[in-house]
Structure 1
Amino acid sequence: MSGLSTIGFDADDTLWQNETFFRLTEQRFTELLSEHGAHEVISAKLLEAERRNLRFYGFGVKGFTLSMIETAVEVTNGQVSASVIGEILGFGRQMLQNPVETLPGARETLDQLAGRYRILLITKGDLFDQERKLAQSGLGDYFSAVEIVSDKTPDTYRRIFSRHGDGPERAMMVGNSLKSDIVPAIRAGSWGVYVPHELTWVLEHEEAPEAEPRFRRIASLGALPGLLAQMT
């Protein structure tokens, strides 16, 4: 750990709230279509649509909105009204205007580490929306570089940590998604620090790599400086 020079941070549900807005919107969506099925049934069909559409629309609000429309067409057997589609589009626009709520300890942690390490933001999602959230968060000045990517793979981390740091072996990735933030970063040769969030999208679930020597878990982001102090 004495050679650690670069720390990458995930954005959504690591530095600020995100999944909460998706869950609330999903609830509104199932209520809108309640005459066509129970909440659990419509939610399951929405998840199937999201899974199918990831390779076409990617991650983020716009893909979620298109998946809601597709699900509405499916559960109504093609009879969904223009007014309902209009409401769904309104749900999506509202999500793109939601205020940014940073998570406890986010600013304080970045403030402690920014002078000691090269700090990066590495996030998936829609370019415009992620740029908006970063600007509204007030955290932008902490980052040496911001990478908004279509997906997070070992190659993604190798490329980013080589471009903006001293290679993956001297880098660490911090985030709430085992599937996107932790496992691929470790496979790239980096450290992975898992910070669980109470709400994590089911498509981001994966088994924790407990046996990996470069895996760590902390209860909250505020514990990261202490963990780094113990490891160096």
Structure 2
Amino acid sequence: MIEVSRLVKRHGSRAVVDDVNFTALPGRVTGLLGPNGAGKSSTLRILLGLDRATSGTALIDGSPYRSLQRPLWKVGAMLDGPGANKGRTARAHLRWVAQSNAIPTRRVDEVLELTGLGDAAKRRIGGFSLGMGQRLGIAAALLGNPDVLVLDEPTNGLDPDGIRWTRRFLRSLADDGKAVLVSSHLMSEMENTADDFVVIARGRVLAAGTAAEVTGTHNSLEDAFFALTDEHTEYRGTGTGTGTGTGTDEATS
């Protein structure tokens, strides 16, 4: 499981993560939701040992990521897409990732098949569609068959078929007992995918719980999200067609 407790990250006098607390439990998909500048990516980067917290803890099965000897056996992650050399084939990329954590080479073909990329194993990544690239990132996250998955915007830019596949696949991972933490700005999609939700804005958790608990008296999770985050959103539309934003921004941080 993932446990984030009293997490704070400051840049000078500004807190980009401000006393964040939540858990992501095994057998459940947890959606980390928030507008542009909410602190989602900063929280995930601290959780995955890519940045240091000012204070507080972010633990995976009771341990910080940096203390894990072979982290891919414990937690799989995808941040900013697959992060692969476009000149490599899918199989070569995954072999390199597997070797970095002493994962058996046979696992490469297993995850290629799991993510529907078996027929594309010998293709160069530069020729992949966006959806195939997202699947490759998920395949890399699954190499160590970890109990914890952390995925940042896995459906970003995907067509409806790709979104549906990702939704079903994340559900299957949770049904296998894995703790799945997903950062997303797609409210309606996450309402169909996640079991638990953490709504964050300007570094602070505004609500956490099941869909029913977060939605409360609102008609939908989306309505609750906007009600919770409206005053924390950096860009708001004017409703006249002349504004600079729409009230939400697809980029997250």
- TM-score, normalised relative to structure 2: 0.28
- TM-score, normalised relative to structure 1: 0.29
- Name whichever structure is richer in strand by fraction: 2
- Name whichever structure is richer in helix by fraction: 1
